[in-house]
Chains A and B, each alone.
Chain A
Amino acid sequence: AQSVTQPDIHITVSEGASLELRCNYSYGATPYLFWYVQSPGQGLQLLLKYFSGDTLVQGIKGFEAEFKRSQSSFNLRKPSVHWSDAAEYFCAVGARGSYIPTFGRGTSLIVHP
């Protein structure tokens, strides 16, 4: 079965600084990978997803993620963080043939002014 690890429970950055949120997955083949964001009091919103092809994926709100097969990672990046990016971020993995993702435990992003 697939699994996802988000090693950082909390990340604190200053507004305007760059951001990288880590995600490692475990799956025997090439997985489907997702990043979701959950703002306080809101449901999850899909930021980006990777199925195949170009390993650098562009998403909404200026986010991107890079799939690195050799490292079993799918880290989320943003060059300049805005205060409104403060939220919980979830990485998820889906197995080929299944449309139900397995979610990581999430990383809480705190943005200092």
Chain B
Amino acid sequence: DSGVTQTPKHLITATGQRVTLRCSPRSGDLSVYWYQQSLDQGLQFLIHYYNGEERAKGNILERFSAQQFPDLHSELNLSSLELGDSALYFCASSVESRFQETQYFGPGTRLLVL
């Protein structure tokens, strides 16, 4: 158990819908990272938040957005969903945002868009 929790574990929805994925980092970690793992694209970095502020963006679609709240949990919002958004979404956390630090991954949320 990494100490990072993600809810829900599974999500099934229809095209055009909007969903929210939630991530609680390890106690004391200020950084939260979101990743998408799909068969087509592999594991890709989406976005990073540090202590409530956006720090880096990767291959995140405009239909996707995220935020980190004062209690440091984070939410990833996916809207106007398409079939291709079906994937496993991971969040990870680390204490700060330095390259030396280990990122601890949650178990992921599996999203299926029908």
Chain A residues close to B by CB (< 8 Å): 32, 36, 41-46, 49, 51, 90, 94, 96-106
A99 touches which of B43, B90, B99 (Cβ 8 Å) = B99
**Contact between chains at A43 and B4 (CB < 8 Å):** yes
How far, in angstroms, from A49 to B97 measured CA to CA in the complex? 16
**Contact between chains at B43 and A45 (CB < 8 Å):** no
Number of residues on chain B facing chain A (CB within 8 A): 23
B43 touches which of A42, A49, A90 (Cβ 8 Å) = A90
> How far apart are A34's CB and chain B's nearest CB, in angstroms?
9
Chain B residues close to A by CB (< 8 Å): 2, 4, 33, 42-45, 48, 56, 58, 90, 92, 97-103, 105-108
B45 touches which of A41, A97, A100 (Cβ 8 Å) = A100
Interface of A is mostly: loop
**Contact between chains at A41 and B107 (CB < 8 Å):** yes
